[in-house]
Structure 1
Amino acid sequence: MAGLLTTAAPIGAPDAVAAEIHRWAAEPFDLGDGNCGLSVIDYVARATGQPAPHWLRRLGRRGAARLMRDDARFERVASAALAAMQCSGTDSPVRGDVALVLLAGSGLTACICASSANGGLWAARGDRAAVLARGTVRKAWRVRCRRP
């Protein structure tokens, strides 16, 4: 599992996925401001340098709760936000890409690909935790990290 937190990146080069997993382990989950969807969007913004769509923050707790109950709406909102951030869809997600993943016991969840080996391992936001699990990808997007 430790290999998911580090990579063979050059010495001193940050690994965006590892940094995000560490961030999630240190910050509380908040339905309105620090949920799985917003956390993944914030990761994409940091990794790509693209600004997160401002309208996402206006959804608040009620909007987030509605998305949790409606997978089709969750997918539409995620698609619109990621398109605005210039992320294209992919059928072959790799480490660092993002997706909506059906996780056992959690339902549809916004995740970061922690590993694409053996069917994929997905990082999801928990309360002061990152949950690593296998799941079924509903829709995935390529995240092209900016060069330092």
Structure 2
Amino acid sequence: MRPKSSRPQACRGLEKLPSASEPLADRCLWGYGIWWFCIALLTTARSIRTGMSFNLGWWGFTFPIGVYSVATLALARITHIDSLTVVGVILITGLVGLWVLISARTLHGAWKGYLFVSPCLVPGAIPGDRMKAESSAIEVGSR
């Protein structure tokens, strides 16, 4: 015996609607993700060409690529589209390469001592500090 539903009669059968629209929705969202992946890749490449130096923020690249890679492999498993498996493996391979590169650059920067520098702690970096230093220099000079 089935339990009675608390839904109104007009809403019965709507639970089947998401399963009917999922194949289209997941492909649309995956396509939207690949669009943003390409935009991010091109923007990052341009920034590197124009002198973006290495910093700890590069670790922020790994998480979205990892999530998108795993989502691609999950979509390939669900939809049985073999080409998505290939794309997922390529993304995972690229992620591993990126992870190795960022790890090496992080270790190098930590070893050389240039990575963990806070620019805001450099004297004169904060405008208020600069004005205080100039006013104390004027006071010393006027004595």
- TM-score range, shorter-chain basis? under 0.3
Report 1 or 2 for greater relative contact order, CA contacts < 8 Å, sequence distance ≥ 6: 1
Structure richer in helix, relative to its length: 2
Indicate the structure (1 or 2) with the bigger Cα radius of gyration.
2
Q: Under a length normalisation based on structure 2, what TM-score does the superposition of the two structures give?
A: 0.22
Greater strand fraction, Structure 1 or Structure 2 = 1
TM-score when scaled to structure 1?
A: 0.22
